Structure 1
Amino acid sequence: MKALRYLLIFFSVLLLLHPGFGQKSAVRIDDSDTLKFTSSVLLEIDSVQLYSGIQAIINQALDSAAFPGCQVLLAKQGQVFYYESFGYHTYDSLRMVNNSDLYDLASITKVTAATLALMKLYDEGKFDLDRTLGYYFPFLAKSNKANLSIRKVLAHQSRLKSWIPYYSESQRKNGRYKRKTISNDSTSSYPYRIPGSDFFLYKEFREKSIYRMIKKSKLYPQEEYVYSGLVFYLLPQLVERLSGESFDDHLNQKFYMPLGAQTLGFEPMKRFPRSQIIPTEVDTFFRMSKLHGVVHDEGAAMMLGVSGNAGLFSNAYDLAKVFQMLLNGGTYGEQKYLSRETINEFTSCQYCDLDNRRGLGFDKPLIEYDSIKTSVAKLASPESYGHSGYTGTLVWADPKNQLLFVFLANRVHPTRANRKIYQLNIRPKIHDLVYRLIEEGKEGRP
């Protein structure tokens, strides 16, 4: 056992040279508070139990076909002590997952794009959490949503409908698409190809259809916690209006590029070969194709791949940079991105007294722990925050324990009907293991 421990330490040092760890960046970043790589032993975390424990959990997932492959990254106090990829892109086992490969982050986009942009605008005094939807979106000023506060909307406490299936709402009863929605042919009125399909979108579909459906949607009768993605379709336009930049350019210039997060962004095939991008679902009900290199979420596809609700792609390391910046209190590489006060505001539970665990955009631990319903460890502190993604992804940051956990997978391949990642509790099992080993390391100190 002792020999195995020393061998793991040796390999941990070698991993510093692994291309997935030390990704070269075209952006020069001072490394004083950036992610660094270390051995778990140096953090008093038992390497043997860490590596064998995670391997056993992932093996169970792969053997059960919970997903074809995944990436797992763990960092403590800004030091990455575990970063591994497992399995394959798909079940044909032709291409192994590498640390440099990109996953569809799904709803992690809500906090790593839309919410992040709002935090910047809030810091700059350009955005007020206690204004209403009617104030920021004039087309809603005479709707039933006019007086819904932004704070409640971001905390999923606003009575907004959970979701709208825009593609099916655009169909007639006979299956044909309504005028000025979707067409099989590209014309001047239908100039945009829907990502991953042979359909073309009406030139004003966002304003004439998506915005209109949101405006006309009914509210739930009672104000309580209901997860809703509707406002995240509207936020890119708000960010553009308040910042004077396009949504994706604003994020690239203010966050992703200066962070050196090269793989993090929308529309990955504009920057990376398809072979570096992990496929998601084989769509048999809308786009009728294997979704590879294009956004999985149908709503984000109707936003042409750039949306506030979904659409970001990344590897685990570049996603970790954003959340390490948040854990650092808003700095990374000695550059200031956000104030600590803004981070605390957005990541704090807003309506815990109403049995709503959410922050502003960010998810939080369950108010009452339930091992079946959670995606994170029981020992995750109440201060911790993050978000999960429908494709099988999760990012979680714990400022009290200075622990960062990133898990990326494509559990929706080849079908979203596969729920084994939840049934087997894969993500919380890994998270629980790490917290337990950290606690044991503390107890073992002289």
Structure 2
Amino acid sequence: MGKTILAAVALLSVTALAGSATASPGHAYGHFDRPQDGFAPAGTQLSDGSPEDVGLDSRPIDAALQQIAGWTDKTPGREHPMYAGAVSLLAHEGVVVRRSAVGHELRYADGNGTELPPEQREPMHRDTIFDVASISKLFTSIAVLQLVDDGSVQLDEPVATYLPEFGVNGKESITVEQLLTHTSGLQAEAQLWKLPPAQRIPTIMQLTPEHPPGTNYTYSDPNMITLGLLVARVSGAPLDQVVAERITEPLGMVDTGYNPPAAELHRIAATEYEAEPPRGMVRGQVHDENAWSLGGVSGNAGVFSTADDLAVLGQTVLNGGTYGGNRILSEDSVEKMLTDFNGAFPGNSHGLGFELDQRWYMAGLSGPRTAGHTGFTGTSLVIDPTSRSVTVLLTNRVHPSRQWGSNNAARQALAQGMARALGVEPARGSESWFSGQGGTLTTDPLGPVSGPTQVSFYAFVDTQRDGDGTDPLLVESSVDDSGWRPVTLQASGPGAPDEPQGSLAGAGHRSWWKVRGTVDANAGQQLRLRWRYAPDDQYTGRGVNVDGIHVADRDATLLDGELEAARLHPEGWLSTDR
């Protein structure tokens, strides 16, 4: 008997796993539960297609894009729109499955949010150019690793080897690697734009670390400004020239670079109306004040780009450093970008340049090797090697004011849409039970039992990495309607906790677990069981699947969930074939 959908759930959960893949059986296309090793084929280039072409369910993607479009207007709980406009792009297995542009490149006249007359507003387009803010750090990091590849720079060498003036005031031992992983001990920021031009770079060179090198993680603009200077010094050319000649031109990223020409102004999304410094409505110049004070070219910010160009960069990483027949990085260097160097600083996983496993914007796509970066202007790039997927979200959320709030909800929604478009094959039979936003799956009364009762099932858990009970999946029992009590569970499988647990949580393993537990009951008692997924409001994973439910006492099977699905009653759960 098939499992009948009996619950009404929120749109993104309802649509998350409906539909079926068109990819051939056994192929990894469209699957969340078949993590891939290694890089994509080196010849993979982006082409256009539909979600169904690569085994994805289009409905969670479209639901996410509908949310992103809605945030261009005022929504409950927000005084202002989340952003004036947004461009989204999603790609899987080298196929761009969705592009979307909503809202406006230019909407406001001043920092107070006075709207321009309708005829003066400029709509967003799929090829709109954005100030990508700190995503620029990825270009700087790649430029550094190119120097590592050609032997000009060593990761474990002190930065002072290449920039002697840097090696003062406790910075003598700071290495190139520590700058790339934000473990140098340097402060988070330096307000260079408030200084006379001649003092700006010397100020960076004269900084004193706030912590001994290697003992603390602090996301630091001075780290990346220093690396930009290192690239220029070692290569003998300005950073913008290096990025153009060694990254964007070989990759065909024609709309990516620093200080875009005035002729492209009509394609550029406006950012903030700045009163201090008195720049007015910033459009076509870098928003970051430090990069602006350095002429628009800096290791921490300054790059302008489009969604399509950033998708090419993402695919280059998935391909192991090559795209369109042009290799810009060795596979070894790309591997270092996808490997966590910050195990000593939990929650701050970082490869060389890329942030890793950051659920707060990667949502259900996050995992140990999921790489990405965000930008202050409202941008984000997420690259998931295990599913070979790329998501790009570009917004102008600081237009007209940075005080209008965060766009993290949109970042999460887009990544979650892609995660739930990817399928999870049922562990048993043709369907499993899924909950993405919480709820209960409760049995009929079972029994009377003959004594202690065994419960077993399969669980696919993608909630939190820490496994500390955050966003837990619980199994609870009620004997003779005496109230609900947790059942201690023992899970086995990749990434499963070693010891018995009162609840299950985890992420990144992308594998089914076999789970068992025992309910203490006396002969003659009636038993009910329920599976309860209880996520909080932030940073949820893809969700939880349960399958193959089996309950038995010493004498008989009390419930076979595959044959008796009608005896399971969902609230916030649904039955799905993927």
TM-score range, shorter chain: 0.7 to 0.9
- Tell me, yes or no, if structure 1 residue 102 matches structure 2 residue 129: yes
Q: Is the 8 A contact 2:365 2:384 kept in 1?
A: no
Instruction: Compute the TM-score of the two structures, normalised by the length of structure 1.
Output: 0.78
Structure 1 residue 336: Cα displacement: 1.8
Structure 1 residue aligned with 2:382:
396
- Select the residue among 404, 407, 426 that pairs with 1:421: 407
Structure 2 residue aligned with 1:178:
none
Decide whether aligned partners of structure 1 residues 268 and 217 sit closer, same or farther in structure 2, where only a CA change above 3 A counts. same
What amino acid maps onto 1:427 in structure 2? R
- Tell me, yes or no, if structure 1 residue 439 matches structure 2 residue 396: no
Structure 2 residue aligned with 1:321:
312
Structure 2 residue aligned with 1:79:
95
Structure 2 residue aligned with 1:238:
230
What amino acid maps onto 1:344 in structure 2? E
Count of matched residue pairs? 370
For 1:253-402, list aligned pairs within 5 A: 253-270=245-262, 272-355=263-346, 356-366=348-358, 374-402=360-388
2:407 match: secondary structure: helix
The separation in 2 between residues aligned to 1:406 and 1:296, in whole angstroms, is 20
For 1:143-154, list aligned pairs within 5 A: 143-154=169-180
Structure 1 residue 49: Cα displacement: 3.8
Q: Is the 8 A contact 2:307 2:393 kept in 1?
A: yes
What amino acid maps onto 1:328 in structure 2? N
What amino acid maps onto 2:133 in structure 1? A
Q: Is the 8 A contact 2:166 2:205 kept in 1?
A: yes
The separation in 2 between residues aligned to 1:144 and 1:138, in whole angstroms, is 13
1:417 match: secondary structure: helix
The separation in 1 between residues aligned to 2:577 and 2:151, in whole angstroms, is 46
1:395 match: secondary structure: strand
Structure 1 residue aligned with 2:104:
88
1:86 match: secondary structure: strand
1:63 match: secondary structure: coil
Structure 2 residue aligned with 1:409:
395
Q: Is the 8 A contact 1:45 1:441 kept in 2?
A: no
The structure number with the bigger radius of gyration is 2
Q: Is the 8 A contact 1:392 1:409 kept in 2?
A: yes
**For structure 1, which segment, 294-303 or 143-152, has the greater mean C-alpha deviation from structure 2 after superposition?**
143-152
Structure 1 residue 409: Cα displacement: 0.5
- Select the residue among 188, 191, 195 that pairs with 1:165: 191
What amino acid maps onto 1:219 in structure 2? P
2:122 match: secondary structure: coil
**Alpha-carbon displacement from aligned partner over 1:134-169 (angstroms, at most 9, x marks no partner):** 22211123332111122122111121011111123x
Contiguous gaps of at least 5 residues in structure 2: 1-41, 76-80, 108-115, 432-575
- Tell me, yes or no, if structure 1 residue 67 matches structure 2 residue 57: no
What amino acid maps onto 2:49 in structure 1? T
For 1:121-132, list aligned pairs within 5 A: 121-132=147-158
**For structure 1, which segment, 244-253 or 380-389, has the greater mean C-alpha deviation from structure 2 after superposition?**
244-253
Decide whether aligned partners of structure 1 residues 56 and 161 sit closer, same or farther in structure 2, where only a CA change above 3 A counts. closer
2:52 match: secondary structure: helix
Structure 2 residue aligned with 1:18:
none
Structure 1 residue 131: Cα displacement: 0.7
The separation in 1 between residues aligned to 2:281 and 2:247, in whole angstroms, is 31
- Select the residue among 20, 35, 38 that pairs with 2:49: 38
What amino acid maps onto 1:36 in structure 2? S
Structure 1 residue aligned with 2:489:
none
Decide whether aligned partners of structure 1 residues 97 and 440 sit closer, same or farther in structure 2, where only a CA change above 3 A counts. farther
Q: Is the 8 A contact 1:106 1:390 kept in 2?
A: yes
1:377 match: secondary structure: helix
Q: Is the 8 A contact 2:356 2:367 kept in 1?
A: no
2:154 match: secondary structure: coil
Contiguous gaps of at least 5 residues in structure 1: 1-30, 171-180, 182-204
Structure 1 residue aligned with 2:519:
none
The separation in 1 between residues aligned to 2:349 and 2:132, in whole angstroms, is 22
Overall identity of the aligned pairs, in %: 29
**Alpha-carbon displacement from aligned partner over 1:257-284 (angstroms, at most 9, x marks no partner):** 12111100011125x4211111100001
Structure 1 residue 445: Cα displacement: 7.3
Q: Is the 8 A contact 1:62 1:69 kept in 2?
A: no
Decide whether aligned partners of structure 1 residues 99 and 238 sit closer, same or farther in structure 2, where only a CA change above 3 A counts. same
The separation in 2 between residues aligned to 1:438 and 1:313, in whole angstroms, is 31
**For structure 1, which segment, 159-168 or 309-318, has the greater mean C-alpha deviation from structure 2 after superposition?**
159-168
**Alpha-carbon displacement from aligned partner over 1:75-99 (angstroms, at most 9, x marks no partner):** 0111110111111113345211111
Q: Is the 8 A contact 2:162 2:233 kept in 1?
A: no
**Alpha-carbon displacement from aligned partner over 1:157-197 (angstroms, at most 9, x marks no partner):** 121011111123x2xxxxxxxxxx2xxxxxxxxxxxxxxxx
Structure 2 residue aligned with 1:24:
none
Structure 1 residue aligned with 2:163:
137
Q: Is the 8 A contact 1:167 1:299 kept in 2?
A: yes
What amino acid maps onto 1:132 in structure 2? P
Q: Which has the higher contact order (CA 8 A, sep 6+)?
A: 1
Aligned CA RMSD, in angstroms, stands at 2.1
What amino acid maps onto 1:436 in structure 2? R
